[in-house]
Amino acid sequence: MARETLWLCLHLPRLGLEHWLKSDPEGGGALPRALSEEGRLCQLNTHAQARGLKPQMALSTALSICQDLDVRPRALREEQQTLRLLGDWATVFTPDVSLSNYSSLVLQISDSIKLFGGADRIQAAAVAGLQAQGYSVSASLGPTPLSAQALAEAGQALSLEALRQALPEDPALSPKARWCQGVATQAAPLLERLPTASLFPKGVTAKLLEDLGLHHLGALRALPRAALQARLGPEARDRLELFWGTKPDLRPALKPRRAFYRDQPFLEDAVHRGGLRFPLRRLCGELAQWLRDRQLRTDRLSWRLQHRDHGSQYLRVVLAEPQGSAEAFYELSWLQLSRAELLPAVDRLTLRVTALSPCEGPGEDLFQRAKRGTQESPQTLLSRLFARLGEDSCSGLRTQDDPRPERSTTTLRPRFAPSPRGTKGQTGGRVGPGEEALEAPPSEGAGWRRSPRPLWLLPRPQRLSNARAEPRYRGEALQLHQGPERLCYGWWDHTAEGPGSPRDYWVAQAPQGAWLWIFQDSASEAWYLHGLFA
């Protein structure tokens, strides 16, 4: 028994034009705009059609009718790249997605019917998703890929309301079988009436069919197979068999790429930063939706600004933690653009994201959002500082197992709260690239850590006085309170500085009340100030 299949075709008749117009919040404004191919118009916006222009009209004729027509040559390679990206997007409905021609997506959705609750819901969601991205869509279901494509491109989509009413009511049938049978039944008369040009638009076969007076696919189906092959040849016969489903259509499915890429050309050159706001926000929204569909997060955005005369410029946006919010992406990207020295003009904006991580956030209770109110997390503040001041603007501290005060800590990328999934005795949270996870401080040993340490450590110890008997600060004697704490200074460290003599550290108080951290060098017996307590 042949495998039951159901196909959905998403035809985008103005793919190249609408991808070009997406950069404008008004969709190109009130100007007539079009794409041309081989000296003829091929894709037109509504304003161009209102001026009397039509597809396949000669470019010279169109310019004589509409002198303010903004026309650009069709870029098939760019359209194919855009269609490929939309194919990656369509994998949220089914893993079996393929491209057809330069303007159609064909989805095998029979195995997704139960998940989405019906083929009608899949079609409605797919159309709404493409329209939200700025594309006009003609969609139709069909029992085979070619039949669904022919119906969608001819604008004769199956009525979803009629399909729902015509579904078999046999309780023994699965939802998949009910929809496959219902679509096959409803599509049969429409497919019979389709013109032969929908399957053979041009070429020798199209001319032969015209000469034979065969104008509908139903007439071709009625011909004997041997006679059909003798008249039209094996290629046309095979195409008809694929169309009617008597031969399996084994087309390769797309392999989704684990990376986000969007390329947006501009209607006009952006010579001010404000001209980048709308396309920037739109691309951030598409990124957030792409991440949400795949349950992913990212903390790296790579922007590329281009101009045909000024070259390219790259900007990298770094977040303090992986996120999936469109507003966060837009705010931080705009901060980065605001402080950067941009190109004199920009005619294309590209966003690429390759650093992806699974969506694994900390658990939240029911009232956690209400407790926080409007208070922002530290990660949000750090992300803003990274975008405004650079990645090296903020750093955290990490302790090291070294008794020398100036080497007991080191800087690193800011760390965040441990993950609730972490186990006892382990640190969680995010660790930057090239950083090692920190071990929990030992509960025993390292007694020097229990001694007080000042919040402010001087870069270099400051000599207090020449008197060896008692330390003096600003001419006044200090009162020693806690100490001595002897630190053996680096005899094990063979660095350029060389080992120093042991030091005896004290906590002392000045007559004015200030608390100081001082030491006496055991070799010279001189006193030094090394830090101040808050």
pLDDT digits (tens, 9 = 90+) for 79-125: 999 999 999 999 999 999 999 888 999 999 999 999 999 999 999 99
Tokens of 273: 């930063």
Question: Domains (ranges, CATH) in the chain?
Answer: 7-244 (no CATH), 260-358 (3.30.1490.100), 454-532 (no CATH)
CA–CA distances in Å: residue 127 to residues 71, 120, 260, 442, 511: 27, 11, 21, 59, 79
- The interaxial angle of helices 225-232 and 234-244, nearest 10 deg, is 130
pLDDT of the residue at 3: 64
pLDDT of the residue at 419: 37
- The per-residue pLDDT for range 301-323, each reduced to its tens digit, is 999 999 999 999 999 998 878 88
| Confidence grade of residue 375 (pLDDT, cut at 50, 70, 90) | low
Q: Which amino acid, residue 534? A: A
pLDDT at 74 over 50: yes
Euclidean distance between CA atoms 376 and 62, whole angstroms: 56
Asked whether the beta carbons of 278 and 23 are under 8 A apart, the reply is yes
Residue ranges of the alpha helices (H) in 156-275?
160-166, 175-193, 204-212, 217-222, 225-232, 234-244
- The per-residue pLDDT for range 264-283, each reduced to its tens digit, is 999 889 998 888 999 999 99
Question: What is the phi-psi region of residue 483: left when phi exceeds 0, alpha when psi lies from -120 to 50, beta otherwise?
Answer: left
CA–CA distances in Å: residue 27 to residues 126, 185, 270, 272, 273: 21, 40, 16, 19, 19
SS3 category, 100: strand
Q: Which amino acid, residue 1? A: M
Euclidean distance between CA atoms 290 and 287, whole angstroms: 5
pLDDT of the residue at 66: 92
Closest C-alpha among 225, 266, 252 to residue 23: 266
Residue ranges of the alpha helices (H) in 267-420?
277-294, 326-339, 368-372, 378-389
Euclidean distance between CA atoms 147 and 261, whole angstroms: 31
pLDDT of the residue at 493: 66
Q: What global pTM score does this model have? A: 0.70
Tokens of 105: 């997506």
